[in-house]
Amino acid sequence: MGSVFDQAAQIEKKVVTGDRKKYYRFRPAPFYGGIATADCVGCPLKCVFCWSGFPRDHPGKAGKWYTSEQVFDRLAAIAREKGYSQLRVSGNEPTLGRDHLISLLEKVENTSYQFILETSGVLIDEQYAGMLSPFKNIHVRVSLKGTCEQEFAVLTGLPPEGFRLQLRALKALKDHNVSCHPAAMVSFSPPHHIRELEERLSSISPDFYLEKEEVILYPLVRKRLQGAGLLLRK
């Protein structure tokens, strides 16, 4: 079982080169009241509830290369057509390829759009949070994989210490005054684990409200859960 950083380094070599990164889809989406979405390729986590199939599991083969300017232009075109005020990168892990993401955010910053950064947060340390802090048009949604270290390991197949990296990201973002909030996959969590997580989050910031995610049983997700032998909490 390699570390999160080992996995991220291996994936990044396959999906990022300079200002270019691999994406497999651009689309309007109904979330957040309507948002233009670019789905990127590659993630260092292998969550058993993940809905991304080929682009996550075969990053070297999936997607096409786009510069940050091309990504912005595609997102802005969708937003104009649909009347959206929000943009995001989703699908896999947007924080892979730091320079690419920062370049994209620089283009968003000169507009009236808000950018929603959906991330596991495992790669966001003090330095990364500091690089995000100048941008006023960004909100970061940190998606926690479970509610504790043990659940993180079961759900991602990576060492349990990775969960603390997610909490570290939230603290770093708060310390650098970056707008953010935590979400957590709670479908596999007993109520007392959820309460304990809320206490941990409160110690980072009393302003945090935990967004509770429930698994959506797409066919691929159901297959993955069956293969992992996981039964959903009733």
The answer to whether the CB of 131 falls within 8 A of the CB of 104 is: no
> What pLDDT score does 233 carry?
58
Q: Which two tokens mark 63?
A: 């997607």
What pLDDT score does 227 carry? 84
pLDDT number for residue 232: 61
Looking at the domain 4-226, which fold is it? TIM Barrel (3.20.20)
Q: Quick one: tokens of 199?
A: 């206490």
Integer angstrom CA distances of residue 141 from 7, 165, 225? 22, 15, 24
Contact at 8 Å (CB) between 28 and 78? yes
Q: pLDDT at position 2, please?
A: 64
pLDDT value of position 183 = 98
Domain ranges in the chain? 4-226
Q: How far apart are CA 153 and CA 9, in angstroms?
A: 19
Distance of alpha carbon 99 from alpha carbon 141, whole angstroms: 20
What does the pLDDT look like over 183-225, one tens digit per residue?
Answer: 999 999 999 999 999 999 999 999 999 999 998 788 888 888 8
Q: Are 47 and 155 in contact (CB under 8 A)?
A: yes
- Count of positions (residues) in the chain: 234
| Distances 234 to 39, 111, 189 between C-alpha atoms, Å | 32, 45, 10
Residues ≥6 apart with Cβ < 8 Å to 131: 98, 102
> Which of 214, 220, 218 has the alpha carbon at shortest distance from 234?
214
Query: What is the reported pLDDT for 229?
Result: 83
Which residues of the chain fall short of a pLDDT of 70? 1-2, 231-234
